[in-house]
Amino acid sequence: MILSNQHIVLPLLLNLLFTFVYSHIPTTLEGPFPPITVPFDPSLRAVAIDLPDTDPRVRRNVHGFQPEQISLSLSTSYHSVWVSWITGEFQIGYNIKPLDPKTVSSVVHYGTSRTALVREAKGQSLIYNQLYPYEGLQNYTSGIIHHVRLRGLEPSTVYYYQCGDPSLEAMSDIYYFRTMPISGPKSYPGRVAVVGDLGLTYNTTTTINHLTSNEPDLLLLIGDVTYANLYLTNGTGSDCYSCSFPQSPIHETYQPRWDYWGRFMQNLVSKVPMMVVEGNHEIEKQAEDKQFVAYSSRFAFPSEESGSSSTFYYSFNAGGIHFVMLGAYTDYARTGEQYKWLERDLASVDRSVTPWLVAAWHPPWYSTYKAHYREAECMRVHVEDLLYSYGVDIVFNGHIHAYERSNRVYNYNLDPCGPVHITIGDGGNREKMAIKFADEPGHCPDPSSTPDPYMGGFCATNFTFGPAVSKFCWDRQPDYSAFRESSFGYGILEVKNETWALWSWYRNQDSYNDVGDQIYIVRQPQLCPINQKVCREYFAAM
């Protein structure tokens, strides 16, 4: 058989191109890497200041029942998308009168042409209240929140939409979005932006502007959304959650900060789907011990579509990636509903269709910062084995207001089959940046300071193995910590194929093209087989 020059040269050129592109960026195949700490830049210690309610980016600029705070979220796969918005004004005060959701319809007109929105979908609406039965504390009632699910969509297709109530002549402008690609081993969204602990400060605006310049196809927000609970109900703010207003009979929140945040974010999330998981700042306890009400009301979640009975945990596909969003502030014990759901969900994943498995929740298991050190140890003890057995590739967390990337790790040991854990809680919130490390002299916290109120006990104890045996903290940067730096920013995940994905972390103070940390995360399915027995049993039973 005689081969033409192009049959010889083309594969050679492609191979050379692949080598050139990948050679100057490290890959996990070269790891584990020696730990790196980037020294803190003192010039970044400026106080994070919230946007005031007079800022034009957070002011209400619609009238009557015209839609505002428009946002998108995904269902479980490409053929379905949620559209959410708010109509009517919130009220805060001592004598509030909730709006009636039945007075305004929830309608979306949409289509593949801006001039022909020929399809219509209807959905549901609701309001929520944040109530404090104490003298001097103001109560809140929201505008009317609408959630409409669009169905029967084509993959990788641009759709135009307009939402509102046509009978009231209260319709939005026309927006657009692109659906996710079809699920398959060679099909992926271009860029997935990941950010945590965002808030609504001037740092936040820099983060979102920087992030938007990277033109993401999807946004993951890993908890701590608005920090409304750094405010009293009269609008007075604080810089610290744990020390704010100890004289209050209940930890107050100022719910209008949610509306300000929704208005600021609309420009991005009306075009780019945003998937949110709860953080501790979303707890927002109120009368009758209600919690997480704003979080559960304002966002649409694919909980029902993914078999979950809770807004705290759910899953979805984006091309060849299966995302699992978990709740750290609800029961995660092996006997609980979330764990049972997670077992079913992981067993249902066909890795020949969605090779990549990514998990996310708020507090990290593998952070080496002093703040919140080993705080989520109970969750790790209960859940880590399950995620490991199914070959989770990447874990995203927030909570720590800094950045850290791990080597592949399992049970605090370097493990080529463990996931890469990435802490990305550096979105720009009002609280202080984390700059102290638990391994620094005098910074190791007392184990008694790390209780888990959600499981009712202490799980973080002294290590019984490895270089830190008989100690609660390492005396140097742990081997599992590959890179850490205190700086505000965000990350971009670009999955290239079924085994290679590029992770890039961007710092707010850098230009849009500069990268603070970058690595190719490489899957090795031949080296690290998943729990095939359980999967075979699951698919046989279907």
Give the pLDDT confidence of 169-220 residue by residue, as tens digits: 999 999 999 999 999 999 999 999 999 999 999 999 999 999 999 999 999 9
Percent of the chain exceeding pLDDT 90 equals 86
pLDDT of residue 46: 65
Q: How far apart are CA 217 and CA 155, in angstroms?
A: 13
Evaluate whether 269 touches 298 at the Cβ level (below 8 Å).
no
**What phi-psi label fits residue 498: left (phi over 0), alpha (psi between -120 and 50 degrees) or beta?**
alpha
pLDDT of residue 535: 44
- Structural domains in the chain plus CATH codes: 183-538 (3.60.21.10)
pTM for the structure as a whole:
0.93
- pLDDT band for 245, please (50, 70, 90 cuts): confident
pLDDT tens per residue across span 19-68 = 445 458 999 999 999 999 999 988 876 678 999 999 999 999 999 999 99
- pLDDT band for 16, please (50, 70, 90 cuts): very low
pLDDT of residue 286: 96
Q: Is 401 a catalytic residue?
A: no
- pLDDT band for 359, please (50, 70, 90 cuts): very high
pLDDT of residue 9: 45
Q: Mean pLDDT, to the nearest integer, of 459-483? A: 95
- pLDDT band for 455, please (50, 70, 90 cuts): low
pLDDT of residue 456: 63
pLDDT of residue 57: 98
pLDDT of residue 23: 53
pLDDT of residue 14: 41
DSSP string for 339-405: HHHHHHHHHH--TTT--EEEEE-SS-SS--BSTTTTTTHHHHHHHHHHHHHTT--EEEE-SSSSEEE
| CA distances from residue 125 to 70, 83, 430 in whole angstroms, order as listed | 14, 12, 32
Strand partners, 283: none
Which is more confident, 416 or 16?
Answer: 416
Q: Mean pLDDT, to the nearest integer, of 523-527? A: 94
DSSP string for 132-201: --STTPPEEE--EEEEEEE-SPPTT-EEEEEEEEGGGTEE---EEEEPPPPSBTTB--S-EEEE-S--SB
pLDDT of residue 204: 97
Q: How far apart are CA 409 and CA 89, in angstroms?
A: 48
Supply 421's token pair.
């854990």
- pLDDT band for 239, please (50, 70, 90 cuts): confident
Strand partners, 175: 161
DSSP letter at 495 equals E
pLDDT of residue 8: 39
The pLDDT of residue 5 is above 60: no
The residue annotated as part of the active site, out of 146, 281, 372, 382, is 372
Q: What angle do CA 375, 461, 454 make, to 5 degrees?
A: 40
Q: Mean pLDDT, to the nearest integer, of 85-102? A: 97
In which residue are the tokens 């190719």 written?
520
Q: How far apart are CA 182 and CA 294, in angstroms?
A: 32
Mean per-residue pLDDT over the chain, rounded:
92
pLDDT of residue 2: 36
